[in-house]
Amino acid sequence: MLNLLVQFSFSFLASAAYAIITNVPRRSLIACGLSGAAGWMFYWFSTQWGANAALGSLLGALSVAAVSFICSRKLKLPVTIFNIPGMVPLVPGGLAYQAVRNLVIGNYDTAMHSTVQAIMIAGAIALGLVLSEVFNHNIRNFKEKRDIVSLIRKKAEK
């Protein structure tokens, strides 16, 4: 239970701190922290239950994008204000560092493995954002078409 609280707290703080550095509006800081914490918790739970890091990053990115979409609607701000700080805990920076470090010291097999893993994680994050945007776009189009059809039916009834 304590580990869960630590994971949530530090992912929230990392996202909120990055949001402060990038000068997002003050009223969105808590939402930025929540989007990052949600993404990290999905990643952390999935890796704890046996998924690999790429799948965990995909699920984390999907949850960041979903929370960002909800927060952007509630606070009436662009979704990127919440997406970018929310992705900070998911970025494989330590893995990329290890890849370069192993390359420099001559461990080419380990460097290649770390590089491929970092690329897969980065691709999973990008795929999660794209899939979420596609889902949001389809939902928006469905709602618009539903509203248009209901207006046409109301006019036809009159």
- Domain ranges for the chain, please list them: 1-90+122-157
Mean confidence (pLDDT) of the chain:
91
Average pLDDT over residues 46-69: 92
Q: How far apart are CA 92 and CA 135, in angstroms?
A: 25
Give the residue, 126 or 139, on which the prediction is more confident. 126
- 86-124 per-position pLDDT tens digit: 999 999 989 999 999 999 999 999 999 999 999 999 999
Residue 158 has pLDDT above 80, yes or no: no
Average pLDDT over residues 38-51: 93
CB distance 11 to 36 below 8 Å: yes
